[in-house]
Amino acid sequence: MSEYKPFRPGEVVPQSGIYGCDCGSRHRWSTDVRGHRFPPLPAGCTGSCWTLTTETHPISGKAV
């Protein structure tokens, strides 16, 4: 996956990984469970979404 879609706070996490906000202040959030919801952005953050920066468990297409 070379380009990652942005996700708004409250949307369902599609893939486990480390997500960063889009404000440029290096806010990070990690999730290890697909299906949880993205948290609000940090207080004072000027960003609007989370974007996957590092995949921790790539989607294989296989049921587990």
Tokens coding 54 = 């590092």
Percent of the chain with pLDDT over 90: 17
Q: Does the structure show a pLDDT above 50 at 4? A: yes
User: What are the residue ranges spanned by the domains of the chain?
Assistant: 1-57
Q: Does the structure show a pLDDT above 90 at 6? A: yes
pLDDT in tens, 37-54: 998 988 888 999 998 888
